[in-house]
Amino acid sequence: MFSIQDKIKPWQGEQKKTGDIVYQRIVKHLDAILLSAYQTLDPSTTFVPKEVLATEHKKFDHISHGAFTPEYFAAQAKIIADVSRNADFVDYLTAGYAPYSAGLVSALVKETKWSGKQRDVLIRSLMNSVFSEASVVMFYYFDLLNKAAEDERSKAEAERARVAEEDARVIEILGDALSALANGDLSYQIREDIPAKSEPIRRNFNEALSRLQAAMGRVSASTSSIRAGTLEITSASDDLSRRSEQQAASLEETAAALNEITATVQSTAESAKHAREIVSTTKDEAEHSGAIMRQAEDAMSAIQASSQQISQIIGVIDEIAFQTNLLALNAGVEAARAGDAGKGFAVVAQEVRELAQRSAEAAKQIKGLISASEQQVGQGVNLVAQTGSALSRIVSRVAEINTIVADIDASSREQSTGIREINTAINQMDQFTQQNAAKVEETAAAGHHLSQEAEQLARLVSEFRVSSESAPRGRRDNISHFRNIA
């Protein structure tokens, strides 16, 4: 970058003399010009400090005479450094330096009574001084800006380098943490000191890993429980499957036996129905036989009565025979008394007597036969009566048997109906049991599959170390560690 001292050179000769004229005409107005410029910057300003006035007078002496010496440049550099710390450069130029320059021109115009070429030379000399100073001001101001920018750049570069170094360290730490996580170590914690801006990352990572470790521990315990539960379910399903198969087989045999029982009971019901019909017919026939027996009993009673009447008639005949015999005896006695005259009569009387005797003997025989017949008829009546009583009892028993057989028939029909319903229910139970056996077999297969999945889950979970006591040493150690935890 060029130096302002190489661009702005000290004045010599006539140029310096013209500048001295400008100085002499303006210097007496310089205090008022400075006060006006400062009031433009700050309206509350009432005076300009003496040291400031001294500095400004010295500076005006330099620029109006073109004394652009190292002393001047050093003073300007200091002034611009002070201004840059206290005021904005644009405000300094527009609100301060512009009124100051205008005041200088106005003072020169007031002090220059003549017109023409000489006035233009003086104004040009003043403008040369003003713009030279403005160039110096701008140079030092921009130099300050460049230095400030360079400082800022250097600071930014240093900050970027520091941030990059911190970021690299944070990335390295996170890389180690992620590597441990990738290796299944859930107990890893970031314990190194890291920059404050990355502290949330470390805190969140440690908290996330702690939560993941706790969750994986719970998953590990749950996996163990699931594995134990699936083993129990598998064992229970196998046992249930075997029992279901046995039950299905037993139920199938029961259904077959019940079918045979159903057929037997149905046959028994039909036999009971046939027996009921036979008993009913027998009851009717017994009742009919009873009626006939009652008629026979009545007939025997009538015969007994007739025998008694015949016996009475025989008794009458026997008495008639006795009387006839007696009469014949009397007639013989009378014929004997009559002598020969009564011989024929005596013969007749003898014949009559013999006839009466034969009649008496016949009547006696008939009476004996009738007595025997009467006894036999009495016995027959008694037997018929007994037979009637027996038939009555038989009819009563047959009626009871008929009732019992009717009840047996009704019960057999109800039993047949109930057994058919039971048979239907058993057949349905057989079908359902077969279906349940199939479902149980599917459940057992699902249990085996779930057990395999639980074992696989256990193997996957075992790849994570949830304890800080020991680092994982491969798949086998991981599984052992998992099992120890479980």
What does pTM read for this prediction?
Answer: 0.37
Q: What pLDDT digit, counting tens, does each position of 205-260 carry? A: 888 878 887 888 788 788 778 878 777 877 877 787 777 778 777 777 777 877 77
Percent of the chain residues past pLDDT 70, beyond the cut: 93
Give domain status of residue 193, yes or no.
no
Is there a single domain that holds both residue 218 and residue 75?
no
Is there a single domain that holds both residue 295 and residue 416?
yes
Is there a single domain that holds both residue 155 and residue 216?
no
Give me the residues paired with residue 465 across strands.
Answer: 185
Give domain status of residue 485, yes or no.
no
Give domain status of residue 359, yes or no.
yes
| Encoded amino acid at 134, one letter | A
Give the SS3 label for residue 187.
Answer: coil
Nearest to 409 by CA among 215, 287, 272, 313: 272
- Asked if residue 473 has pLDDT above 70, the reply is no
Is there a single domain that holds both residue 233 and residue 129?
no
Q: For the residues of 239-308, what is the DSSP string, one character each?
A: HHHHHHHHHHHHHHHHHHHHHHHHHHHHHHHHHHHHHHHHHHHHHHHHHHHHHHHHHHHHHHHHHHHHHH
Which residues constitute the domain of residue 268? 210-461
φ, ψ for residue 2, nearest 5 deg:
-75, 160
CATH of the domain at 24: 1.10.490
Is there a single domain that holds both residue 157 and residue 257?
no
Contact 9, 68 (CB under 8 A): yes
C-alpha dihedral sign at 129, 135, 136, 141: positive
Give domain status of residue 475, yes or no.
no
Domain count, the chain: 2
For residue 96, the model assigns a pLDDT of: 73
Give domain status of residue 378, yes or no.
yes
| Domain end among 129, 164, 199 | 164
CATH of the domain at 244: 1.10.287.950
Is there a single domain that holds both residue 49 and residue 152?
yes
- Using only C-alpha atoms, what is the Rg of the chain? 80
Q: How confident is the model at residue 484 (pLDDT cuts 50, 70, 90)?
A: very low
Q: How confident is the model at residue 1 (pLDDT cuts 50, 70, 90)?
A: low
For residue 236, the model assigns a pLDDT of: 79
Is there a single domain that holds both residue 287 and residue 152?
no
Is there a single domain that holds both residue 249 and residue 341?
yes
Q: For the residues of 259-276, what is the DSSP string, one character each?
A: HHHHHHHHHHHHHHHHHH
Q: What pLDDT digit, counting tens, does each position of 431-448 carry? A: 877 887 788 778 878 878
Is there a single domain that holds both residue 157 and residue 36?
yes
Q: Supply 418's token pair.
A: 């109930």
Is there a single domain that holds both residue 159 and residue 216?
no
Please report, for residues 60, 321, 328, 330, 425, the alpha-carbon distance to residue 335 in angstroms, rounded to integers and kept in the order given. 240, 20, 10, 8, 114
| Encoded amino acid at 330, one letter | N
Give domain status of residue 275, yes or no.
yes
Q: How confident is the model at residue 471 (pLDDT cuts 50, 70, 90)?
A: very low
418 or 60: which carries more pLDDT confidence?
A: 60
Residue written as token pair 């440049």? 73
Ranked by mean pLDDT, the top range of 39-43, 139-143, 413-417 is 39-43
Q: How confident is the model at residue 336 (pLDDT cuts 50, 70, 90)?
A: confident
Give domain status of residue 179, yes or no.
no
For residue 116, the model assigns a pLDDT of: 63
Q: What pLDDT digit, counting tens, does each position of 140-191 carry? A: 777 777 777 788 888 888 888 888 888 888 888 888 888 888 888 878 888 8
Give the separation between CA 379 and CA 477, rounded to whole angstroms. Answer: 118
φ, ψ for residue 185, nearest 5 deg:
-90, 95
Is there a single domain that holds both residue 216 and residue 154?
no
Is there a single domain that holds both residue 226 and residue 155?
no
